[in-house]
Amino acid sequence: MFVNFPPVAAIYRSICPFELAKSQQQRPRAPSLLCNKQPHVPHSWPPSSQQRTTTTTVSSHGLFRLPTTLPPPVLTRGSIPPPPSRRPHPPRAVVDRVRAVLLDTGRGRCRVGGAAGAAGGVARGAVLGAQGEVPGKAEPVGEGEAGEGAHIVVHGGRHQGARQDAHGGDRGRQALQGGHRHGRFMMRLKLPNGVTTSEQTRYLASVIEAYGKDGCADVTTRQNWQIRGVTLPDVPAILDGLNAVGLTSLQSGMDNVRNPVGNPLAGIDPDEIVDTRSYTNLLSYITSNFQGNPTITNLPRKRNVCVIGSHDLYEHPHINDLAYMPAVKDGKFGFNLLVGGFISPKRWEEALPLDAWVPGDDIIPVCKAVLEAYCDLGTRGNRQKTRMMWLIDELGMEVFWSEVEKRMPNGVLERAAPEDLINKKWQRRDYLGVHPQKQEGLSYVGLHVPVGRVQAADMFELARLADEYGSGELRLTVEQNIVIPNVKDEKVEALLAEPLLQKFSPQPSLLLKGLVACTGNQFCGQAIIETKQRALLVTSQVEKLVSVPRAVRMHWTGCPNSCGQVQVADNGFMGCLTKDSAGKIVEAADIFVGGRVGSDSHLAGVYKKSVPCDELAPIVADILVERFGAVRREREENEE
């Protein structure tokens, strides 16, 4: 039986922190539901009208009854602009097609036994909403994810529901009691292929502007926006506003399929293989078709997916759980599949060939089949060993292939095409600066956003530039930069003269253009060190010591979770703590060297551990001289 709960806003209004604290003391803890390889219990979807109105469920760990009457709504704080009354929906043809593929087989994953746990997590998450993922210890104090706990009402599941029920209250209390931004939260969106509009950008700017110095936004390493400074009373209004401009945050975090990544130059690149936008948009409907998808919420861990559209491999397929590599078989266009790429604190691995090919029309069925195999067979014990590669290691690739084949709609999965369409000798191009499009008379302009951080005023200006010089569109990249497409050639000079381009330069220095940094401990409770300002500071110090002949990609991450993806960088810096020469504990970093992207991709290894941040610059300069052909400044001056 599928259990559908009242809307998020209704649950939010029905519970106050004081009642929540009382309920946490009285309600017995649920037993562990994280056992391995339990067979799934099918249920029908969509639910019947009788099921939709059910508000009570019984599980193995007791009764959870939602209130039948609601108190008056809580007045919101802040000055969030009211959303427009219209609410856009995906095209009906697309929704019907995806629903038919995903939901008509009866392979439901949201078990009744886990629904009560999910509901308990919702009740806590809707009010407190904090989330962390450091296994084996108490969750850190700091910024949570606004809206994520609330959305579990739509995409609960046995594993997430139980975990949120067991830990959500503790996370919330910690977030409210202390941390870097008391009572402030981050909201992550779904933005397939990194494509956003000026209207959406203005709305997000208006949200963070209302929070003053506490509000800002980040471009992430998955072509996505994260907005910061959000207060929980404002979340329902913000969610309505997101819907009104065609955005959503449903299933954007925790153990879900994360933002689908594609070519940032899709549709405008003269050398592209395929326009990835249509494929990433279809993949986004798997989880975020403005309604959520309960059938794929019981994943053992998060899952990253990308569609490759160019020889440059801007999408970093080697670190995605599922990557679609364009390939032709028997004269028909489709994709070879890579599986299992991931980065985690204890292990990082490159994706491996699945030896499978699907026609371009079948990207959703095979994605669903891989998800089901992972969901049915993946372990749910140690969080450090729950990514899909661990399952592939356990089964072997051939057995995993057969498990995916069993779950294909017709029970058939074709073997891979002999070769994909990627040119292995291709030199990766720089998209920053001005470049001609495939459309005659148009250019795209790539802007460098230092460490991905933008303020409300920046976002308003970006929206204006997109309207005035382009087509009202912006593209986000996994290197935390922004591309303005469809600029008429006669307008390029005027665009380059805009004041904002002094800050977001199309021609940054060789060390700055490859600089990436995660959020750091300014906002993230899991980060050990501050990253964004530190990255800029160390880079400026290194630039005073050496000059480099080419761009060097340097990535910073505040903790071993590696949201900054230090393993793919030429030089990476992972935050830690150490003692300096005086015996004082200070911020430090483990240095990684040797990561590569592109057809000869390689994940970096540790070069030196626990270097105090204040001592990094000369060591980095030495690495650049030894391995990247850098020249010391004093030598340049002497030669001159």
Instruction: Tell me the per-residue pLDDT of 58-75, one tens digit each, with 9 for 90 and over.
Output: 222 222 222 333 333 333
Query: What are the pLDDT digits (tens) for 143-184?
Result: 344 433 333 323 333 333 333 333 333 333 223 222 356 789
Lowest mean pLDDT among 154-168, 339-353, 565-579: 154-168
Q: What percent of the chain has pLDDT over 90?
A: 63
* Residue 553 belongs to some domain of the structure: yes
Q: What's the mean pLDDT in 525-537?
A: 96
Q: Provide the angle, in degrees to the nearest 10, between the axes of the packed helices 397-406 and 388-395.
A: 110
What pLDDT, on the 0 to 100 scale, is given for residue 289? 64
pLDDT value of residue 640: 56
Distance CA 68, CA 70 (A): 7
Instruction: Specify the CATH number for the domain of residue 571.
Output: 3.30.413.10
| pLDDT of residue 591 exceeding 70 | yes
Q: At 92, is the pLDDT very low, low, confident or very high (cuts 50, 70, 90)?
A: low
Inform me whether the pLDDT recorded for 284 exceeds 70: yes
pLDDT tops 60 at residue 494: yes
- The mean of the pLDDT values for the chain is 77
State mean pLDDT over 305-320.
Answer: 96
Higher pLDDT pick, 598 / 188: 188
In the set 262, 514, 558, 575, the catalytic residue is 558
Reduced to 3 states (helix: H, G, I; strand: E, B; else coil), residue 581 is coil
Q: Is residue 495 part of a domain?
A: no
Handedness of CA 14, 20, 24, 30 (dihedral sign): positive
Please report whether residue 614 resides in a domain.
yes
Please, is 364 exposed, middle or buried when counting C-beta atoms within 10 Å of its C-beta (0-12, 13-18, 19+)? buried
Active site residue 302: yes
Confidence bin at 639 (pLDDT 50/70/90): low
Has 558 been annotated as catalytic? yes
Among residues 301, 368, 385, 513, the one annotated as catalytic is 301
Per-residue model confidence (pLDDT) at position 636: 59
What pLDDT does 4 receive?
Answer: 38
DSSP at 250: T
Res. 5 pLDDT band, cuts 50 70 90: very low
Compute the average pLDDT of residues 286-301: 77
Q: Please say if the pLDDT value at position 224 is more than 60.
A: yes
Q: Which residues on adjacent β-strands are paired with residue 348? A: 343
Q: Look at the chain and report how many structural domains it folds into.
A: 1
Rounded to whole angstroms, how far apart are CA atoms 613 and 553?
18
Token look-up 């809707």 returns: 126
**In the predicted model, what is the mean pLDDT of residues 298-306?**
91
Greater confidence (307 vs 383) lies with: 307
Choose the weakest-confidence range: 282-291, 325-334, 605-614: 282-291
How does residue 290 score in pLDDT terms, banded at 50, 70 and 90?
A: low
pLDDT at 94 over 60: no
Is 535 a member of any domain?
Answer: yes
Confidence of residue 288 (pLDDT cuts 50, 70, 90): low
> For residue 101, what pLDDT is reported?
43
Name the catalytic one among 110, 559, 563, 613: 563
Classify residue 518: in a domain, yes or no. yes
Q: What is the pLDDT of residue 635?
A: 65
Which of 99, 302, 491, 632 is catalytic? The answer is: 302
Our answer to whether residue 188 is catalytic in this structure is yes
Residue 544 domain-assigned?
yes
Q: At 294, is the pLDDT very low, low, confident or very high (cuts 50, 70, 90)? A: confident
Residue-level pLDDT at 389:
96
User: Is the residue at 568 inside a domain?
Assistant: yes
Residue 286: which pLDDT band, with cuts at 50, 70 and 90?
confident
108 vs 479, more confident? 479
Question: What pLDDT, on the 0 to 100 scale, is given for residue 187?
Answer: 96
Rounded average pLDDT over 379-394: 92
Active-site residue, from 13, 181, 184, 188: 188
Q: In three state form, how does the secondary structure of 129-177 look? A: CCCCCCCCCCCCCCEEECCHHHHCCCCCCHHHHHHHHHHHHHHHHHHHH
Position 566 pLDDT exceeds 90: yes
Residues in the chain: 640
Q: Is the pLDDT of residue 465 over 90?
A: yes
Active site residue 633: no
Give me the residues paired with residue 546 across strands: 632
Angstrom distances, CA of residue 535 to CA of 34, 83, 375, 555, 569: 39, 37, 38, 8, 14
Reported as a single tens digit per residue, the pLDDT across 179-215 is 356 789 999 999 999 999 999 999 999 999 999 999 9
Q: Which domain holds residue 592?
A: 513-632
